Structure 1
Amino acid sequence: MLIPIENVLGKDEVAHFRQRLDGADWQDGLNTAGTLARAAKRNLQLEDGSPLAVALGNHILRRLGSHPAFISAALPHRIYPPKFNCYRNGGTYGLHVDSALMAVGGTDITIRSDLSATLFLSEPDEYEGGELQIEGPFGIQSVKLAAGDMVLYPSSSLHQVTPVTRGERLASFFWIQSMVQGEEDRTLLYDLDQAIQALTRSCADDPELVRLTRVYHNLLRRWAVT
């Protein structure tokens, strides 16, 4: 399931990120590419663990920690420290799949990648190309969101970033280990939670909402691993 999440960062926050990233010390993305990815990856990245990457990444993590739509969709257990990339001058990342297990540098933590996230930091009209294309059961979906918006999708999906032929595409990307590993289970819980939230807004005094909420939490109790 592909889930767009709006307003992870506000416009002022995006402007602050862009100011910090302007003139950043971008490194060749091949420095972090695996054997297969080396033939497909042509972009720039901030060095993992650099002061700028850590500061901006921590800001994103703080925002996600209080973002109800993200929590509902991801049910996060662990989040890989956000990374940052830049595509320009034909930069692209061909069809690939994310690694299943990812070690967090400088720690003894390994994260299972259940969900992948791309947080857009450039407005769609600032660049041409650069669509995130994700293969799913109903074909290929192309994603190009407003700056500050994010998309979540299964890490098991084949995906790619099409060549950027004009302008510059800036983004943050990272992975989430969910408390609910199964994609179908997680999707069911998300749909149920969204229905509960909608009903709460329209008929909060309906006693059946309590029963519906009980179903949600009992399913979560059954499937969640912490």
Structure 2
Amino acid sequence: MLIRIPEVLSGESLAACQKIMLESEWVDGAVTAGKQSVKVKNNLQLPEQGAAAAAARKLVLEGLANHALFITAALPKKIFSPLFNCYTGEHNAFGNHIDNAIRTHKGEGGSVRTDISATLFLSEPDSYEGGELVIEDTFGTQRIKLAAGDMVLYPSSSVHRVEPVTSGARIASFFWIESMIRETERRRLLFEMDMALLDLRSREGDTDAVVRLTGSYHNLIRMWADS
């Protein structure tokens, strides 16, 4: 399931995050690469333990917490602390790879099962050339390049890459989500059901039928959720 989440960051929060990115110093992105992905990863990254990353991370997590579409799409149990990368100059691409199944927090302990991968775009698409996120899965090959502040969610089991950035700079936040609902197809069913319920409620109000269907939605979560 691939879902676009619009305006995770917007207005002052987006501007503040972009300002942090522009004023920060970057390091080689290989610091967070796995054994397979390090062979194809060529980008820059904000130091994970630095003050700049912490400030930007707070903005992203606040945006996620207040975004209803993200919550219903991901049904998050754990969110890996958001990281930040930059593709520009000689550090401009990330070849085909699949994300590690488990990510461990440096210095924090604990781990996250990577059910869902997220890329939150922080550069406007007309400010750089190339840099499309290419995702290959059962839904076909998708080429993603979104407005600053918008995010895409996709299965962490997908093969994906970032095409070379030939001019400008592509800056984004990336992270992983462990969902309460482990199976992709069950998450898809619940997402579609919730979207249909929202539509019904907006047109018909909380009729008896809508209330019963809403109960079925929550009962399915009770049946399937990891607690």
Match for 1:122: what amino acid?
S
Residues 1:46 and 2:46 aligned together: yes
Distance of 2:219 and 2:132 partners within structure 1 = 39
CA–CA distance in structure 2, aligned partners of residues 78 and 205 of structure 1: 31
Distance 1:62 1:138 in 2: 30
Residue 14 of structure 1 and its aligned partner are, at CA, apart by: 1.8
Tell me the CA shift for residue 17 of structure 1: 1.3
Describe how 1:98-109 pairs up with structure 2 within 5 A: 98-109=99-110
Other-structure match for 1:131: 132
Partner residue in 1 for 2:209: 208
Give the superposition deviation at 1:198: 1.2
Aligned residues: 226
| Secondary structure of 1:22's aligned partner | helix
Q: Which residue is equivalent to 1:79?
A: 79
- RMSD of aligned Cα (Å): 1.1
Could you tell me which runs of 5 or more consecutive residues in structure 2 were left unpaired when the two chains were aligned: none
1:92-147, CA deviations, whole angstroms, 9 ceiling, x for partnerless residues? Answer: 00000000011111223111000000000011111111000000113210111110
Q: What fraction of aligned residue pairs are identical, expressed as a percent?
A: 49
Q: Say whether 1:62 aligns with 2:66.
A: no
Question: Does the Cα contact within 8 Å between 2:119 and 2:174 map onto a contact in 1?
Answer: yes
CA distance in structure 1 between the aligned counterparts of 2:41 and 2:89, rounded to whole angstroms: 13
TM-score normalised to structure 1 length: 0.97
Of 203-212 and 157-166, deviating more is: 203-212
- Aligned-partner Cα distance in 1 for 2:171–2:220: 38
Q: Aligned partners of 2:152, 2:47: CA distance in 1, in Å?
A: 23
1:224 CA displacement: 0.4
Return the TM-score normalized by structure 2: 0.96
C-alpha displacement of 1:59: 1.6
Q: Is the 8 A contact 1:11 1:148 kept in 2?
A: no
Aligned to 2:152: 151
CA–CA separation in structure 1 for the residues paired with 2:193 and 2:154: 18
Instruction: Check the 8 A contact 2:87/2:169 in 1, yes or no.
Output: yes
